[in-house]
A = this chain, B = another copy of it.
Amino acid sequence: MLSAIMEDYLKAIYYLQGETDERVRTSTLAEHMGVEQPSVTSMVKKLAKRDFVHYEPYKGVVLTDTGIPVALEIIRHHRLLERYLTERLEYDWAEVHDEADRLEHHISNQFADRIAEQLGNPAVDPHGDPIPTADLDVSPPQSGETLADQQVGDKVRIERVPDNDPDLLRYLSEHGITPTTVVEIVETTSFGMVTLDPDGTDERVALPEEVARSITAQTLTGASN
Contact = CB atoms under 8 A, between A and B. Distances in A.
- The main secondary structure of chain A at its interface with chain B is helix
A43 to B, nearest CB: 20
Contacts of A118: 88-89
A106 interface: yes
A109 to B, nearest CB: 11
A138 interface: no
Contacts of A90: 114
A212 to B, nearest CB: 32
Interface in A63-92: 85, 88-91
Interface residues of A, number: 17
Contact of A102 (B85, B88, B106): B106
Contacts of A105: 106
Given A99-B107, A99-B108, A105-B106, 15 more contacts: A85-B111, A88-B118, A89-B111, A89-B114, A89-B115, A89-B118, A90-B114, A91-B114, A99-B110, A99-B111, A102-B106, A103-B103, A103-B106, A103-B107, A106-B106
Interface of A: 85, 88-91, 99, 102-103, 105-108, 110-111, 114-115, 118
Nearest to A114: B89
A110 B90 CA distance: 10
18 contacts: A85-B111, A88-B118, A89-B111, A89-B114, A89-B115, A89-B118, A90-B114, A91-B114, A99-B107, A99-B108, A99-B110, A99-B111, A102-B106, A103-B103, A103-B106, A103-B107, A105-B106, A106-B106
